[in-house]
Each structure stands twice: as structure tokens, then as C-alpha cells.
Amino acid sequence: MTVSGVPSPGWRERMVQAAIPVLGAAMWVQCIQHILWPVAGLRYAAMGLLGGYLVLALPQIGRGTRWIVLACLGVTGLCLASGSPVSAALSGLDTALVFMGFFPAIAMIRWALERGGTLSRIEARYRDLPPQARGDSLLVVGHVIGAVVTMGAFAIVMPPADQMGELRLRTQAALVALRGVSLAVLWTPFTVGMGFAAHGFPQVPLWQAILCGMGLALIGLALSMGRGAFSGLRRIAPGLGAVAVPVLGASAVLAAVNLLSAMPAMDTIILTAPLAVLAFALIAHRAALPGLQPVLRASLNGLGNEMALFSASVAMGMALTSNPAFRAALDGLGLARLPAGMTFALLVLAAGGGGGLGRHSSVIAAVMLALTAGLGTTFGMLTCFMLVLFGWFCGAMLSMSSLSVAIVNRMFRVPVGPLVLGANLRFAIGLGAVLTAIFAMLNGIGIA
């Protein structure tokens, strides 16, 4: 309906909603094209599409995200004014574009892993457990499910409304759920954190990153697990295995393709995942294939918040890395001249401190990339990779700007303060101390 020939707001909104996934799909296709046949002019055009996408998706961007983006843009502006080349900021946008290929690929993998009702069966078995057994197994259930659907795991592990209990019990459950899901960031290739680190260190084989991250996550689970943690797990173990086996299998396939093709890990996921999912659907779930279209449309339509964060934070990280004043300040700190174990401990503290201070995971990871850029001779690339992942984990579990914290705060009806400054902060410090001790030991024998 129009008034005096002017389209009504409802019509304009529908046009915008139709344009957003189209722009997203165009950037996805260009991302694949850029991997197979890079053309500089098309890449710059894609950066223009990204700008248009963010403008149209502005209503999706929350107020907290806008403040983070403005802060990142402010730092980037200062860096450019003090010597960082414009090419550094453009390199950040180039990196952000990679995620327009990564997010749809991950959405397809999750769609494939959710076929067959495995997650719903686990949820039913989990809900049937007695409250104590359910609480004991919450950590591991959250971790395994979180490796597939990340924040969607909270809906499965959340206690039923009539069994939420007093605030103390809700807080304990919320902390454990947040811890279990966040630990999955350290190893599963189906998270944005892994994609971020993989793009920052493309020379690190995916299998090494997965195995090292899995080892650290298992240490974290062991540190967190109570004596009765296995009482409920026995009853839902078959269901957990039905998720863990395909997740590990898909991870192994991606790692093998990455190893054999010598492609960067992100490129491997972007190219391999859609083909594998389509083959899986045609063989085993042909009838469900039409259901993939709305999943992809929703993924491409709802990336405004994430892409704004990535574009701003990665551009900031690239500008910092190339800034002469920042490099001089780092050199003045003498991190490269300190014993490797001490430098590593300081970086772990920086990662945890960034989470405790409310910095978003993408910002912490971008800063960690900048901090480790000049330490290539002190640390190996795999070590730097794990430091970036640890920073992402700290942001996901501790930061007030974390979507995971916001979801747990809302679903478990728990104040934010205890979530970010309580037991999980102590847990992050303890896990960081263990990680530092492992690094010091490996470095002492010449491995790390």
C-alpha cells in the first residue's frame, strides 16, 4: 500500500529483509570464488557489499555491540592516524569477509548433525534424570551438545521451570552449563572461535589445533567435574555417543582434507562442508533437503551483529599489529626478552583479564593476535593459536558482552555478577595456570 506514490514503511521493510540474505549469499559465493580464483577487484566489490549488508542489518545490531564497534573503530582510527597503513584495515575487512563463507558452512554442518532427532532424544533422556543426576551430568552434556550447536546447548541443559530451585542452585547450574559449553570452543572446528584462530594462523594444521584444544578441554572438564558426575551420564551415554561420534568423525574428515590439500583450515571448512552436507542429505535424508533452504536463509539474514563485531574488531587487530607506536610499546615491554614461560603467563593473564573486564571474545582474540604477532620466534604458531583460542574461551565464559553469558543470565534467571566474577573466573585462572605449566614443561624440553 502506498501514500501519494511513496512506498509504505512495511513495503520498505520487506524489501530490506529480502535484500539482506541476497547480499549475504553474494558474499558467500564470492568467498568461495576468492578461495578458488582470487581477483582483487571482486574482493573490493565484496567489501562494498559487506558495507551495504551492515547498513541494512543495522536493526539487528544490539546497543552493546554498537558500543564495542564504535570503540574498535576509534582505536582503528587512532592507529591509522599514527602510522598504520590503510591496507591493514582493508586486510581486516578481507578477513571479516571470510566469515561470510564460514557461517553458512557451519549452519549446514549443524543442520546435518541435527537430522535424525539425536539431540531431541538426548534432551528427553536428560529431562528424565533425577535432579541431582541431571546436575552432575550437566557439565559433560553441555560440552558435547555445545560442540555441535554451541549456545543452543543451553536450551537442552536448562532445568525445567518447575525445578529451577532457589537462586543458589540456579547459579550453580548456570555456572556449570556456561563452563561446559565454553570449553567446547577450545577444540571443535564448528565454532567461530576456532575459525578466527585458524584464519589468523593458517599454517597450523587443523588436526593439531583440534587435538591440542581437546586435550585442554578434557583437563578443564576434569578440573570441574564433581565426584558424582558419572551417575547421570551412564543413563544418557548412548545418546551422547550418538552426537560425539559424528562430531568427531566430521572433525576428523575436515582435518584430513586440510592435511592432504594443504589448504588453510578456514578454506577447508568453507569448501568441504557444503559439499559433504549435500552428499549426506542426498544419500540419507533426501526428503529433508528442502528444509536446508530456510536454515541457510536464516543464517545469511541474521549475521548483522556478528559481522559488525568481526569487521570492527579484526580491522582494529590488523591496524594494531602494523602500528609502529604499538610495536614500539610492545618492544619496550621486553616480552620477547623475558623467559618464555613468563611471557606466556602474562598473555594468559591478558586473555583472562580481557574477559573479566567485559571485552567481547572477538576483541580479545584480535588483541591476542596483535600481541603474538611479534613473538613468532619465542612461541611456535600452534602455541599462538592456542593462546588466541584461550582468549576466545575467556571472553565467551566471563565477559558481560558475551552472548553466552547473556543467554544464561536470561534463561537461568541468575544475576550477571556471579556469572562473570565468581567460580568461573577462578576456574579460568586455574585452567590458565595449568596451561602455563604445561607450556613451561614442553618448552623446557624443547617441544613448545
Cell of 218: 578434557
- The answer to whether 77 and 127 have CB atoms below 8 angstroms apart is no
Cα 433 vs. chain centroid, distance in angstroms? 22
Phi first, then psi, for residue 357 (nearest 5°) are -85, 0
Residue 120 confidence class, pLDDT cut points 50, 70, 90 = low
Q: What CA–CA distance (Å, rounded) separates 127 from 273?
A: 32
Cell of 288: 529433508
Whether the predicted pLDDT of 336 surpasses 50: yes
- Return the pLDDT at 1: 46
Cβ neighbors of 218 (< 8 A, separation 6 or more) are: none
Cell of 352: 583472562
The tens digit of pLDDT for each residue in 180-219 reads 889 999 998 878 888 888 888 888 888 999 999 999 998 9
| pTM as predicted | 0.79
Identity (one letter) of the amino acid at 339? P
Cell of 336: 620477547
Q: What CA–CA distance (Å, rounded) separates 336 from 343?
A: 7
Question: Residue 53: beta bridge partners?
Answer: none
CA atoms within 13 A on the CB side of 155: 6
Which has the closest alpha carbon to 317: 349, 360, 352, 358?
A: 360
Q: What CA–CA distance (Å, rounded) separates 136 from 25?
A: 43
Q: 205 in the Ramachandran plot: left (φ > 0), alpha (ψ -120 to 50) or beta? A: beta
Q: What CA–CA distance (Å, rounded) separates 300 from 75?
A: 29
- Return the pLDDT at 166: 76
- Return the pLDDT at 42: 92
The tens digit of pLDDT for each residue in 229-265 reads 555 556 556 556 666 777 777 788 888 888 888 788 7
CA distances from 269 to 121, 274, 382 (A): 28, 8, 19
Burial of 24 (0-12, 13-18, 19+ CB in 10 A): buried
- Return the pLDDT at 237: 62
- Return the pLDDT at 9: 56
DSSP E strands in 174-265: the ranges are none
Residue 161 confidence class, pLDDT cut points 50, 70, 90 = very low
Whether the predicted pLDDT of 409 surpasses 70: yes
Q: What CA–CA distance (Å, rounded) separates 219 from 226?
A: 13
Residue 6: strand, helix, or coil = strand
- The answer to whether 137 and 129 have CB atoms below 8 angstroms apart is yes
